[in-house]
Amino acid sequence: MRLEPKPASSLAASILYPLGALLATFVIAGLLVMAAGANPISVFGLVLKGAAGSQFAILETLTRATPLIFTGLAVAVAFRAKLWNIGAEAQLYIGATVTVILGTGALPLPAIVLIPLLMLAALLCGALLLAGPAWLKIRFGVDEVVTTLLLNFIVLLFVSMLLEGVLKDPMSLGWPQSAKVITEAQLPRIIAGKRLHYGFVIAVALAIALWFVMKKTVLGYEMRAVGHNAGAARFLGMPVNGIVMKTALLSGGIAALGGFSEVAGLKGNLTLDLSPGFGYTGIVVAMLAMLNPIGVIFSAIFVAGIFVGAAAMSRAAGVPSYIADVIVATSLLTMVTAIMLSRYRIRWR
């Protein structure tokens, strides 16, 4: 068996390969479900029903997808320039923290002013949080995988300290949670009485904007060049360090917006379980999307649907909802394989 590079991947291939990967995922996961003694067809049926079988299910999936779109975009942007931002989790928490600090009454402003202001504040703080590791990388060659990963723990402990101290809601009966943000700081619900909020719309708009940035702008072009070969980019006159820094600011800011969206749109306050690892799952989401911003919307919905659907299935069929982790992990492996196959041709014989 040999691999040969292909000249350019076609549009058909870019649709067919991910579909093939999806199919392979369900075959492999199906075998595991069978091993667990259940019927894969009915289990997947239940997952699908739980994820998309009713208006409630669909809204729940989209609600869960919203933070994943933000973190997925943050990772996609960074990885495109080979800036390995593993710290979307920390950036998300910083965005949420800033939102509760400024949004619980400190700024008595109308919503039309307050919401953009909170978004801007979250964006800036997330950007600054990733600027540190980016600077260390540029200046001293410190590996950003290590620094951004460690920052996740530092920030989470920092948030925990705030929630036990200055940010603790006096009415919380001792729970480490912040006060609720004021009404003017809340993102409206898309359908009254349902959980899906305008954070989803912001996320989708952001994805489209980033697609445009990557495809059509000088910055997107520079980021791709730096990602492919920083040495050549430098020789060709690109300001490589500046581009890495801009990428970091963009990526960190986007992840922090995810934190804003969760607090202002869904939860209302800050707790230590605001994110069940959205920052890390964002890496999977971005990889599944082959780092394409529009693809991130779909891969985030896919991953969210699996988790939401598996939870419902597990209640009905008794198969542990861990199958969701298995499906998501398997889909990552098949997708990485599909990406390779879309770039290289396999020659048997």
Partner 1 sequence: MSTNIPALRLTSITKRFGPLTANDTISFDVNQGEVIALLGENGAGKTTLMNILFGHYVADEGSVEVFGQTLPPGDPKAALAAGVGMVHQHFTLADNMTVLDNIALGTQSLFRPRLDRAAAKAKIAGLAQDFGLSVKPDALVADLSVGERQRVEILKALYRDARVLILDEPTAVLTPTETDALFKTLKLLVAKGLSIIFISHKLHEVMAASDRVLVLRAGKLSGERRTVDTNRRELAELMVGREITPPAVPAVPRGRVLFELSGVSTVRQAHGTPLKQANLILHGGQITGVAGVSGNGQAALAGLVAGTETPSAGTVTVNGNAISGWSPRAALAAGIARVPEDRHSQGAVADMSVMENVIAEHYRDARFSRSGLLDWAAARKFTQSIIEDYNVKCPSPDARIRLLSGGNMQKLILGRALDPDPSVILANQPSRGLDVGAVAYVHQKLLEARSRGAAILLISEDLEELLALSDRIVVISEGHLSRPSARGELTVRQIGEMMAGHEAA
Residue ranges binding partner 1 (CB under 8 A): 1-2, 4-5, 7-8, 216-219, 221, 224-225, 228-229, 231-239, 347, 349
- In one-letter notation, the amino acid at residue 284 is V
**Of 170 and 231, which has the nearer Cβ to partner 1?**
231
For partner 1, which is the closer residue by CB, 182 or 219?
Answer: 219
Alpha carbons 259 and 89: distance in angstroms, whole number: 9
Q: Give dist(CA 349, CA 346) in Å, integer.
A: 10
The nearest distance, CB 341 to ligand ATP, in angstroms, is 15
**Binding partner of 168, given ligand ATP, partner 1, none, CB within 5-8 angstroms per partner class:** none
Least Å distance, CB 6 to partner 1, is: 9
- Name which of partner 1, ligand ATP, none residue 2 binds, using a CB cut-off of 5 to 8 Å depending on partner kind: partner 1
CB 222, min distance to partner 1, A: 8
> Residue 139 binds which entry of partner 1, ligand ATP, none, with Cβ cut-offs from 5 to 8 Å by kind?
none
- Which of ligand ATP, partner 1, none lies near 349, with the C-beta cut-off 5 to 8 A by kind? partner 1
Closest CA to 341 of 9, 79, 25: 9
Q: How far is the CB of 240 from partner 1 (least distance, A)?
A: 10
Residues at the interface with ligand ATP (CB under 6 A):
4-5, 7
Dihedral sign, CA of 11, 13, 16, 19? negative
Rounded to an integer, what distance in angstroms lies between the CA atom of residue 304 and that of residue 70? Answer: 13
Structure tokens at 262: 């969760």
Question: From the CB of 6, what's the least distance to ligand ATP, in Å?
Answer: 7
CA distance 19 to 148: 33
Given the complex with partner 1, which of 227 and 309 has the nearer CB atom? 227
Q: Which does 273 bind (CB under 5 to 8 A by kind): ligand ATP, partner 1, none?
A: none
| Strand intervals (E) in 222-316 | none
Residue 343 makes CB contacts below 8 A (sequence gap 6+) with 5, 6, 9
| Whether the Cβ atoms of residue 328 and residue 336 lie closer than 8 Å to each other | no
